[in-house]
Amino acid sequence: MSSQRRTASPGLGGTEYLLPQSRDDNLDDVEFAAWRDGKPRLAYLSRAVSPQAILRLLSFIRPSFMSKRKATIDAAEKVPYTPRHSTEYLDGVRGVASLIVFILHWSHMSYPSVNSGWGYRENKSFLLLPFIRILFSGAAMVSVFFVVSGFVLSHRFIQRMHRGEYSELYTGLTSITFRRAIRLYLPAFVSSLMAFVAACFGLIVIPKRIDGIPFEHGLDAYVRYLDSESNPWNWELDFSGFYNPQLWSIAVEFRGSMIVFLLVLSLAKTRTVVRLAVEGFLVAHSFAHKRWDLALFIAGMALAELQVLYVKNSSLSRSRIFSVALYVTMIFGIFLSGYPKDHNTETPGYMWTGNLWPYSSYRRRFWLAISAMLIVGPLTVLPRIQSFFLISPVRYLGRISYALYLVHGLGNRSIGKWLLHRCWETIGKEGTWPYALSFVVSSSIYFPMVIWLSDIFWRAIDIPSTDIAKWLERKCSARNIAK
């Protein structure tokens, strides 16, 4: 493993190039000497930087939940929260899933054993037990992302199919299809650019080889990474890159979205039974050809259709037997979500999967995909479970979920790694308890920082990206249909 590059000293020596290099006629020699001594006068600072600008900056970097509106929000939340739309709880699901992905990527750096299940050889930690290990089931949460996306992207269109609102359906479909690439790729591009800049300044370690292939950091390497990251025509799922490895899923998300939109368009005027039959066939066909990702998007669309039918059928919602069956299904899905990455067919509780199809390394992705469907499906018709994802902290996670997914990778390799090493130096890493204490202390400091940085990224990049997509759509719309 290559040694970490030395970073610039926090003193003046590491930041001299940021200071004024030419004399301003309005500054005297004493003020300039103060700069050279590293002690700028308040008089100069007050003229160089507007106090209003500083206040605006401080106000912006303050977490959104600490804004001036907090008192109003607290007062409003004393009454039961009313969702703005029927699928808002799924934003909370995304938030929790994104947090679990972050936990996995952070914890397996120090504890690779989280990739194995309880009972395999010497793995006896209670954290690795089924159900509990969902905290480290990041791969399963990616599958949940895809099912939720298929559901949310198609749900309102399916509702319009049932109401016969085809004009509104086609108008909405063209709008969301136009904006989708910008919505996904613009924040992803910014996050990878941040990693590129961090590598240029030596803030993250640059490997000599990636996947056995020699790697040399530079603009050409970054451009190749961008091409791979944003390439929906490459149907391989083994893409990884130095600058932001988890962005492999963004091209998959875009491709899956387009498949859902195509199905909405082609099946809009068919009968419900036909839509469900086609979707069921495509899910099975996708799984058979190892396209678990597309199977999940299409399954999400099928679940949206079933949810609309469920709402229409009041007798099902009153059936206790049906409700119990849904809870049991979800519990089994949570159990499957803990399917280990390593030695899964040798792990107690999951050995039976070794006797079932598929018989290759595709097995893990298949069962994690099944788990996502079994979790999200019942969740869409169980209000009591949905209510958890509508509480304030979970809704907040939902708002910053995409930002958290994009930011945490760079944070793990920079701030998180630095904090962990400082704790190792201070507390120690020799022995079980010093090692564990260093991990807990560094995590306790690092986690709030990642949430804070994700909050800033959400407001600075994610929300404006949505606005840019809408603005560009308005500018590109034909005059006779522009609103």
pLDDT at 5: 38
Round to whole Å and give the CA distance between 85 and 89: 9
pLDDT for 36-77, tens place per residue? 444 444 454 455 567 777 777 777 778 887 775 544 444 444
pLDDT at 318: 78
pLDDT at 14: 35
Round to whole Å and give the CA distance between 423 and 98: 26
Q: Which of 48-62, 219-233, 242-256, 377-391 has the highest mean pLDDT?
A: 377-391
Tell me the pTM. 0.85
Q: Residue 368 — pLDDT band, cuts 50, 70, 90? A: very high
Query: For 241-261, what is the mean pLDDT?
Result: 91
Query: For 238-258, what is the mean pLDDT?
Result: 86
Query: For 205-231, what is the mean pLDDT?
Result: 85
Q: Residue 211 — pLDDT band, cuts 50, 70, 90? A: confident
Higher pLDDT among residues 306 and 31, named by residue: 306
State which amino acid sits at residue 218: G
pLDDT at 60: 73
Q: Residue 83 — pLDDT band, cuts 50, 70, 90? A: low
Give me the percent of the chain exceeding a pLDDT of 70. Answer: 84
pLDDT at 209: 82
In the chain, count of helices (H) and strands (E)?
Answer: 20, 2
Query: 171-179: long-range contacts (C-beta < 8 A, 24 or more apart)?
Result: 173/261, 173/264, 173/265, 175/473, 176/261, 177/258, 177/261, 178/469, 178/473, 178/476, 179/466, 179/469, 179/470, 179/472, 179/473
Q: Cα-Cα-Cα-Cα dihedral of 244, 402, 450, 203, to 10°?
A: 20
Q: Residue 231 — pLDDT band, cuts 50, 70, 90? A: confident
Query: For 434-462, what is the mean pLDDT?
Result: 96
pLDDT at 229: 81
**pLDDT > 90? residue 374:** yes
Q: What is the mean pLDDT of the chain?
A: 85
**pLDDT > 80? residue 4:** no
pLDDT at 275: 97
**pLDDT > 90? residue 175:** yes
pLDDT at 169: 96
Round to whole Å and give the CA distance between 483 and 477: 9
Q: Residue 96 — pLDDT band, cuts 50, 70, 90? A: very high
Of the given ranges (33-47, 99-113, 117-131), which has the lowest mean pLDDT? 33-47
State which amino acid sits at residue 162: H
Task: Kindly state the greatest CA–CA separation across the chain.
Answer: 85
**pLDDT > 90? residue 326:** yes
Other C-beta atoms lying within 10 Å of the C-beta of residue 244: 24
Round to whole Å and give the CA distance between 14 and 286: 54
**pLDDT > 60? residue 23:** no
Query: For 262-275, what is the mean pLDDT?
Result: 97
Our CA angle for 418, 459, 100, nearest 5°, is 55
pLDDT at 2: 43
pLDDT at 81: 58
Higher pLDDT among residues 130 and 67, named by residue: 130
Alpha-carbon torsion (376, 378, 380, 382), positive or negative: negative
Q: Which residues of 199-214 are buried (b: 16+ CB within 10 A; e: fewer)?
A: beeebbebeeeeeeee
Read off the DSSP letter of residue 83: -
**pLDDT > 70? residue 483:** no
Of the given ranges (57-71, 347-361, 363-377), which has the lowest mean pLDDT? 57-71
Give me the percent of the chain exceeding a pLDDT of 90. Answer: 63
In the chain, domain spans: 89-382
Round to whole Å and give the CA distance between 35 and 38: 5
**pLDDT > 50? residue 327:** yes
pLDDT at 7: 38
